[in-house]
Amino acid sequence: MLSLPLYLAALSLSLRSALADQSFASSIFRATHNSYSGSVDGAKDTINTQLDRGVRFIEFDFHDNGYDTNKDYGVGHNEPGNAVDHTSPNPAGNLLRDWLKVVNAWSAAHPTHAPIVMMLDVKDDLTDNPNYAAGNPAALNQEMKDVFGSRLLWAQDAPPGLPSIDALRGRVLPLMSGDATTRGLYKGDTGSNPSIARNSRGMVVEVHDDGGSNLWYWSGKIASNGAVTWLRHGKYDTGKNPAVALNEDGWLVEVHQSPTLTKLWSHTGRVDATTGEITWSSSLNYDDGVNPTVEFTDPAGTTVREIHKSQSNSQNWNWNGALNTGSASGSITWSGNAKTSDAIFDKAQSNGIAVLRDSGGKVAYSAGQFVGKRIAYEQVFFVEYGSGENADLQDGAIFYAATSSDKSFLTSGRNAGKVTRGWDFDSASLATTPLENYPATNHPYDAWYEQLLTANNAIQ
């Protein structure tokens, strides 16, 4: 017969094992609100203390102020450094990467911990950052991958509904909250008049206008099943109705129309085969007209043909272009302008891939087994859906959130099998039935909170 202490230990282990095997969406975890604020706002103490005492949901608010200088984001509430507890071993500064490294180091030292949700609350609109170098969401993705490595469970790799707790031990789940425009673009880009080009090496470039006066690009790599990993996204000029051609060595020629006039302009550029980064030339005005299109005459060569329509009648015109690859971005010389009876090129398809604008105004592609798949950043982050937000943010969302006083939203989400978070959970009276998965409090060590979470078998 087991002694009482051994019996209780065995019972505790059995209970812990049973709870750990339950589904993620039915589990309860300790969580803090604005975790970085420690005891500056609330009574949370340092990040390490929070994790040591069973918190498995960490929230960092961040801004893009100073990204050009720091090549990193800044942690803080209203601005970088605002309401941040720098008590050691928290970082002395505000750089997001340093704060993420604290969580990663703790995770590495505790490899059997229950899954940690690492939520980043985006306080600024990252969609106005024109490229990766300026800190758009591709840069945020890369930062998470660099810091957490294989511990990170990418949203795009997660099975529907998420696995059991034991299957996720030692893992970190990235979650994006905050600015709705950023979250919306992260899930899929909006645009008009798209064009796409693909070469035999699997490089893909897409260009479109935003329905206004800005031109944007995506670049990526296509797999054998037709899936495209979109690596880079950015703004490259002003204009409308763009078209793009791509040769075997990653050189591209782009043409477009002025945003309000009928002037035609061209760019050349080179796609980095590893990163997808495009080095663009300055723009060159080469003619007047509308609906410009372009194709390489030889996929392995450096000559192109451009066909566009006259701005004043239905006549088509063409140019021949010679690409000079002697600089990082290249240049082009246009010659042989003449009328042509040939139709303009089909700029919306290239070598087995097609681009379109779907019913929701999102830019999408079809290739291989994928039909109408939205062009978007690599889905490293799970994207949170908040109370009262639009249907696009709700579509496919696993994580739901609201202030803890919005009990009806949290309860309905929980009953629908979603993973719910209620923030500012600072009183037992805010508890829902069933309790939200992440009651995110500013006072995680208060007796009422400890008792409530223990009574609900919180997992750690």
In-domain check, residue 392: yes
- Helices 180-187 & 137-148 angle (0-180, nearest 10): 80
Whether the CB-CB separation of 140 and 100 falls below 8 Å is answered with no
Residue 65 has pLDDT above 90, yes or no: yes
Structural tokens at position 330: 């290249």
Per-residue confidence band for 6, with pLDDT thresholds at 50, 70 and 90: very low
Q: How confident is the model at residue 12 (pLDDT cuts 50, 70, 90)?
A: very low
Q: What is the dihedral of CA 401, 405, 411, 414, to 10 degrees?
A: 30
Distance, CA of 246 to CA of 302 (rounded, Å):
10
Give the domain CATH number at 157.
3.20.20.190
- Looking at the domain assignment, is residue 397 inside a domain? yes
Looking at residue 5, its pLDDT comes to 42
pLDDT given for residue 17 in this prediction:
44
Domain assignment present for 77: yes
User: Which of 343, 367, 391 lies at the terminal end of a domain, its last residue?
Assistant: 367
What's the chain's average pLDDT? Answer: 95
Contact 299, 199 (CB under 8 A): yes
What DSSP string runs through 167-205? GGTT-EEEEEEE-HHHHHHHH--B-EEEEEEE-TTSEEE
Residues 323 and 242 in one domain: yes
Q: Are residues 220 and 354 in the same domain?
A: yes
Checking if the pLDDT of 85 tops 50, the result is yes
Q: Has residue 15 been placed in a domain?
A: no
Q: Taking a C-beta distance cutoff of 8 angstroms, is the pair 116, 172 a contact?
A: yes
No. of helices (H) and no. of strands (E), the chain:
9, 27
Tell me whether residue 2 is in a domain: no
Check pLDDT > 80 for residue 7. Answer: no
Q: How many CA atoms lie within 13 A of 160 on its CB side?
A: 2
Domain that holds residue 116: 24-184+378-456
Q: Are residues 171 and 236 in the same domain?
A: no
- Same domain for 130 and 267, yes or no, is no
148 in a domain, yes or no?
yes
Q: What's the maximum distance between 2 C-alpha atoms anywhere in the chain?
A: 98
Residue 137 pLDDT exceeds 50? yes
**C-alpha to C-alpha distances, 157 to 169, 361, 392, nearest whole angstrom:** 16, 26, 20
Whether 434 is covered by a domain: the verdict is yes
Q: Is residue 373 part of a domain?
A: no
> How many Å apart are CA 40 and CA 90, to the nearest integer?
13
**Tally of structural domains, the chain:** 2
Q: Given this model, what pLDDT does residue 293 score?
A: 98
pLDDT digits (tens, 9 = 90+) for 299-309: 999 999 999 99
Give the up-direction half-sphere exposure of residue 15: CA atoms within 13 A in the CB hemisphere.
13
- Alpha-carbon gap, residue 58 to 50, rounded angstroms: 9
Q: Would the pLDDT of 64 be above 50? A: yes
Are 345 and 295 within 8 A, CB to CB? yes
Domain's final residue, options 367, 387, 408: 367
Same domain, 232 and 333: yes
On whether the CB atoms of residues 276 and 222 are closer than 8 A, the answer is: no
On whether both 270 and 343 belong to a single domain, the answer is yes
Q: Where does the pLDDT of residue 3 fall: very low under 50, low under 70, confident under 90, or very high at 90 and above?
A: very low
Based on the fold, state whether residues 294 and 331 are members of the same structural domain.
yes
The reply to whether 180 and 219 lie within a common domain is: no
> What's the number of CA atoms in the CB half-sphere (13 Å) around residue 95?
12
Mean pLDDT across 374-400: 97
How confident is the model over 402-446, as pLDDT tens digits?
999 999 999 999 999 999 999 999 999 999 999 999 999 999 999
Mean pLDDT of 339-361: 97
Q: Are residues 180 and 195 in the same domain?
A: no
pLDDT digits (tens, 9 = 90+) for 185-241: 999 999 999 999 999 999 999 999 999 999 999 999 999 999 999 999 999 999 999
Task: Give pLDDT, residue 21.
Answer: 75
Position 314 scores a pLDDT of 97
Check whether residue 88 and residue 29 sit in a common domain: yes
- Give the pLDDT confidence score for residue 161 in this predicted structure: 80
pLDDT at 298: 96
Q: How confident is the model at residue 72 (pLDDT cuts 50, 70, 90)?
A: very high
Predicted confidence at residue 2, as pLDDT, reads 40
Task: Supply 360's token pair.
Answer: 């929701």
Considering only 4-8, 70-74, 291-295, which range has the smallest mean pLDDT?
Answer: 4-8
What is the H or E stretch that residue 144 is in?
helix 137-148
Predicted TM-score of the model (pTM): 0.93
- CATH number, domain of 226, equals 2.120.10.10
pLDDT for 160 = 84
Do 339 and 439 lie in one domain? The reply is no
Query: With pLDDT > 70 as the criterion, what percentage of the chain qualifies?
Result: 96
pLDDT above 60 for 13: no
Paired tokens of 311: 């701005």
Nearest partner of 266 among 297, 304, 310, judged by Cα? 304
pLDDT for 10 beyond 70: no
Q: Which domain-ending residue is among 346, 367, 388? A: 367
Which residue carries 């990418």 as its tokens? 154
Domain shared by 197 and 101, yes or no: no
pLDDT band at 4 (very low <50, low <70, confident <90, very high): very low
